[in-house]
Amino acid sequence: MMKTVLITGAGSGFGHEVAIRLALKGFDVIAAVEIYAQVQTMKREAATRGVTLRVEKLDITNEGDRTKALAWNVEILVNNAGVLEGGSVLDVPGSNMRHEFEVNVIGPLLLTQGIAKQMVKRGKGRIVWVSSREGLNVNPFTGIYSASKHAVEAIAETMSLELQEFGIEVATINPGPFLTGFNDRGFETWKSWDDDPSDRLFDYSKLAFPRAQFDPEPVYATMTKVAAGEIDTYRNLEPKSMTEETKHLIEAPWNKKVRDGLGTRPASLQKSYEMKPETPVAR
């Protein structure tokens, strides 16, 4: 049984909870957090929950941190760390775009390259990529994030083919809109953009994340089971209630005409004007 799990981005959100749940299941968990200030916080939370886990500072964009991780004998890698940069693809500054891709794509892939080759030598391993529903669909104002997650989808699917003969399992997790604070934080990043606000196409003070958000419990449960090897499906979308909508939106561009709706505002974009931050899905 593979026991040593490295989960990145464990300082908050999905990664934080899943790291603790995997430890509760008896795995040897290495909970990687981005900054040193999160180390003691994570240790205290683990102690409160009655579990023992190892907490390491691992900024996936830092080459030294990635190299350090190669000494940890990782058998299961959960690439969970990520950021969301909200804003129109016509407004997001270049430095913010680059940061999005460094955190969501380049850093995790470089980390995975080294760890996956160790797995190949052992003849076993499991790699879980936390993608997004946005890796399968797109929405206004999350286009750069969506682009990074589409890249993750391409990397993960290719990796699953290239590692198949070496006995390495690869899976993806595709969370939809969940209320962890992640989505709403992403719609606040414009406040620190280094640009000319008068040149922006949209006024971001009037916009919010465009969808009501679900309780994150289904993602916690599914991520934990996928990492533990208790679920063996390659793609794992949560909530499952969004599966048909997601598939429909994947097919939609095949029938779209370039002049459809010209001169009008799409309903999906209008939702950002109407939604309030941290709106939960009505039960």
Q: What is the pLDDT of residue 155?
A: 98
Rounded CA gap, 247 and 9, in Å?
Answer: 28
Which active-site residues does the annotation give?
Answer: 145
Q: What is the pLDDT of residue 1?
A: 85
Coil, strand or helix at 86? coil
Q: What is the pLDDT of residue 190?
A: 98
282 DSSP 8-state letter: P
pTM of the model: 0.97
171 DSSP 8-state letter: E
Of 36, 10, 37, give the one whose Cα is nearest residue 21.
Answer: 10
Indicate the residue type of 86: G
Rounded CA gap, 150 and 71, in Å?
Answer: 30
Angle, in degrees to the nearest 10, between helices 143-162 and 107-122? 20
Q: What is the pLDDT of residue 243?
A: 98
Q: What is the pLDDT of residue 188?
A: 97
Q: What is the pLDDT of residue 282?
A: 85
Rounded CA gap, 22 and 15, in Å?
Answer: 10
Rounded CA gap, 9 and 15, in Å?
Answer: 6
204 DSSP 8-state letter: G
- Write out the two tokens for 213: 């958000």
Where do we find the tokens 């959100």? Answer: 13
Rounded CA gap, 79 and 158, in Å?
Answer: 16
Q: What is the pLDDT of residue 76?
A: 98
The list of the chain residues with pLDDT below 70 reads none
Handedness of CA 225, 229, 232, 233 (dihedral sign): positive
Peptide bond into 277 cis (omega under 30): no
